[in-house]
Amino acid sequence: VAMAHLAGRLAQRWCPSSLQVISFPVVQLHLNRTAMRASQKDFENAMNQVKLLKKDPGNEVKLKLYSLYKQATEGPCNMPKPGVFDLINKAKWDAWNALGNLPKETARQNYVDLVSSLSSSLESSSQVEPGTDRKSTGYETLMVTSEDGITKIMLNRPTKKNALNVEMYHEIMHALKAASKDDSAITVLTGNGDYYSSGNDLTNFTDIPPGGVEEKAKNGAILLREFVGCFIDFPKPLIALVNGPAVGISVTLLGLFDAVYASDRATFHTPFSHLGQSPEGCSSYTFPKIMSPAKATEMLVFGKKLTAGEACAQGLVTEVFPDSTFQKEVWTRLKAFAKLPPNAMRISKEIIRNREKEKLHAVNAEECSVLQGRWLSDECMNAVVNFLSRKSKL
């Protein structure tokens, strides 16, 4: 069952047709109507109903549907077991194989029953997840608003602890580019829900392109370089409101912000060695400068998690606020900042940043190239598989 999570990419952006990622090949069914409870018609109706579901039933349910479909039409699993890194096909194989010798008729009946329960439960659940009002923002993974001279970019995958999936990397770049040109004076990045962000979405590693893991790593490095580059080049004051725990890349990027305000509930964790990875976000350069090389090593090499108070003492965080008054206090302050002359703020930022820009881009390029190699290492692959199969968490 845990392997179902390996298929995380199956529902990256859900629409009815994405259910077919776990494909339902059209086959002619030769079913003996008298020998079963669910008829061929019931079964075919159920298959059609699946395509009409309005809400993603989740990967575990999709794997169950897939396995029952295969068992009902082909009998016990007859495919060779996929390789350990062929994550999606392995999850499908595991699900089908787990049905053992379940008779075709029972599988068919179970399929029909499952679809019927899904249709009623999913159709009745019209509750919209907080922050999924996509029409108003045009973003799938963010909420972006502009008010009182402040553009707020809010990471909006609260149920995934605001983990950054590939779409979110692209959307953040888009939002930053738009914010750099809009008429706001300052830009703010924050998280929706209890986390600021749990860092890179580890299911990003499961979607292997035809060129294999090497191509995946290369594309990842290109995307990461462009993504971090947007933070290096951002022209207006950029402020992080760290509303809760922050992990991985969401921490390292803080070294590129102009101010970082944190709730006292926030923690700062960069467990790169645990994950077989290495620092990014220019942190190999900014952290030793901000907090001393030894303190940076404790975080980036040994994965020491800092409290908000510790991060403030190290200079990574500008100021810490009690969680109960965090939003009120920081927004009062930000609104006052936003009233300052925008051109003066821009020019002052430029003069601080310009001296470092070339260096930061060079560091970014080097970090991405090192990470590209790390992503292909057994240490990294094992860490990802362990997380996705729920053998380990931070």
Ligand X SMILES: CCCCC/C=C/CC(=O)SCCNC(=O)CCNC(=O)[C@H](O)C(C)(C)COP(=O)(O)OP(=O)(O)OC[C@H]1O[C@@H](n2cnc3c(N)ncnc32)[C@H](O)[C@@H]1OP(=O)(O)O
Residue ranges binding ligand X (CB under 6 A): 160-161, 163, 169, 198-204, 220, 223-224, 247-249, 275, 277, 280, 387, 393-394
d(CA 369, CA 376): 12
Q: How far is the CB of 202 from ligand X (least distance, A)?
A: 4
Comparing CB distances to ligand X, the nearer of 189 and 249 is: 249
Q: How far is the CB of 95 from ligand X (least distance, A)?
A: 16
β-strand partners of 321: 263
Comparing CB distances to ligand X, the nearer of 249 and 363 is: 249
Q: How far is the CB of 56 from ligand X (least distance, A)?
A: 11
d(CA 135, CA 153): 16
**Cα angle at 86 between 80 and 91, to 5 degrees?**
75
Residue nearest to ligand X (CB): 248
d(CA 380, CA 71): 35
Write the CB contacts of 6 (distance below 8 Å, at least 6 apart in sequence): 87, 88, 90, 91, 203, 206, 385, 388, 389
Comparing CB distances to ligand X, the nearer of 171 and 280 is: 280
Comparing CB distances to ligand X, the nearer of 151 and 190 is: 190
Comparing CB distances to ligand X, the nearer of 168 and 259 is: 168
Write the CB contacts of 47 (distance below 8 Å, at least 6 apart in sequence): 24, 69, 115
Q: How far is the CB of 307 from ligand X (least distance, A)?
A: 15
Comparing CB distances to ligand X, the nearer of 247 and 306 is: 247
Candidates 285, 278, 272; CA nearest to 361 is 285
Where helices occur in 53-86 by DSSP H, the ranges are 59-74
Query: How far is the CA of 248 from the CAs of 31, 162, 178, 303, 313, in angstroms?
Result: 53, 12, 25, 10, 20
Q: How far is the CB of 336 from ligand X (least distance, A)?
A: 33
Residue 267, SS3?
Answer: strand
Q: How far is the CB of 283 from ligand X (least distance, A)?
A: 10
Q: How far is the CB of 119 from ligand X (least distance, A)?
A: 22
Q: How far is the CB of 224 from ligand X (least distance, A)?
A: 4
Candidates 309, 320, 314, 319; CA nearest to 299 is 314
Identify each DSSP E strand in the chain by its residue range: 142-147, 150-155, 186-191, 238-242, 246-247, 259-263, 267-269, 306-307, 319-321
φ and ψ of 256, to 5 deg:
-100, 0
Comparing CB distances to ligand X, the nearer of 186 and 368 is: 368
Q: How far is the CB of 169 from ligand X (least distance, A)?
A: 6
Comparing CB distances to ligand X, the nearer of 72 and 176 is: 176
Comparing CB distances to ligand X, the nearer of 237 and 271 is: 271
Comparing CB distances to ligand X, the nearer of 127 and 354 is: 127
Q: How far is the CB of 82 from ligand X (least distance, A)?
A: 22
Comparing CB distances to ligand X, the nearer of 173 and 313 is: 173
H or E stretch covering 170: helix 166-181
Can you say whether residue 247 is alpha, beta or left, with left for phi > 0 and alpha for psi between -120 and 50 degrees? Answer: beta
Q: How far is the CB of 221 from ligand X (least distance, A)?
A: 8
Residue 330, SS3?
Answer: helix
d(CA 390, CA 4): 10
Can you say whether residue 130 is alpha, beta or left, with left for phi > 0 and alpha for psi between -120 and 50 degrees? Answer: beta
